[in-house]
Amino acid sequence: MTGLVRFGISTEKDLLAKFDRLMNDRGYTNRSKAFSDLVRQELVKREWTEGKEVAGAIIMIYDHHKRELVNKLMDIQHDFNKVIMSTQHIHLDHDNCLEIVAIKGTAVEVQKLADILKSVRGVKHTTLGMSSTGKHI
């Protein structure tokens, strides 16, 4: 936690008006918050490419009827217990499950886990939501 600073930015009048309109559409009520978010977005992108510790979520859709699938996913998740913080499970319908695995670790470890989960028969889709530990942004 650090103090606030105020600094000036020069930009074209037109561009500033477009910025205000765009940010207003997205729900912002002041420019400072919008500016800070644009900066943090770039910082988080860099954390993922520079091998720093990251956090986020692996989001999976699977059909729990597939034989042995649930046990296999459980085994894999236990092998990666250092990277996995907790798991949220939702029964989407009779067949489909949505499982959201909160992760923290290096980008390489997390990607490895996502790849392994994706390759399991019965897992239909896996995506990696890339966020941050919050420490450096």
CB contact at 8 A, 83 and 57: no
In whole angstroms, the minimum distance from the beta carbon of 62 to a copy of itself comes to 8
Q: How many residues at the interface with a copy of itself, by CB under 8 A? A: 80
37 lies in the binding site for a copy of itself (CB under 8 A): yes
Contact residue for a copy of itself among 44, 73, 83, 110 (CB under 8 A): 44
**Residue 2 within binding range of a copy of itself, rule CB under 8 A:** yes
- Residue 85 interacting with a copy of itself (CB under 8 A): yes
Q: How far is the CB of 45 from a copy of itself (least distance, A)?
A: 10
Chain centre to alpha carbon of residue 106: 13
Q: Name residues contacting a copy of itself, limited to 90-109 (CB under 8 A).
A: 90, 92-93, 95-98, 100, 102, 104
CB 125 within 8 A of CB 86: no
Smallest separation, CB 68 to a copy of itself (Å): 14
121 belongs to the binding site for a copy of itself (CB under 8 A): yes
- Using rule CB under 8 A, residue 11 touches a copy of itself: yes
Binding residue for a copy of itself, selected from 51, 52, 61, 106, defined by CB under 8 A:
61
Q: How many CA atoms lie within 13 A of 111 on its CB side?
A: 8
Q: Give the DSSP per-residue string, 32-86.
A: HHHHHHHHHHHHHHHHHHTT-EEEEEEEEEEETTSTTHHHHHHHHHHHTTTTEEE
* All residues at 6 or more sequence positions from 120 whose CB lies less than 8 Å from its CB, including other chains: 62, 69, 72, 73, 76
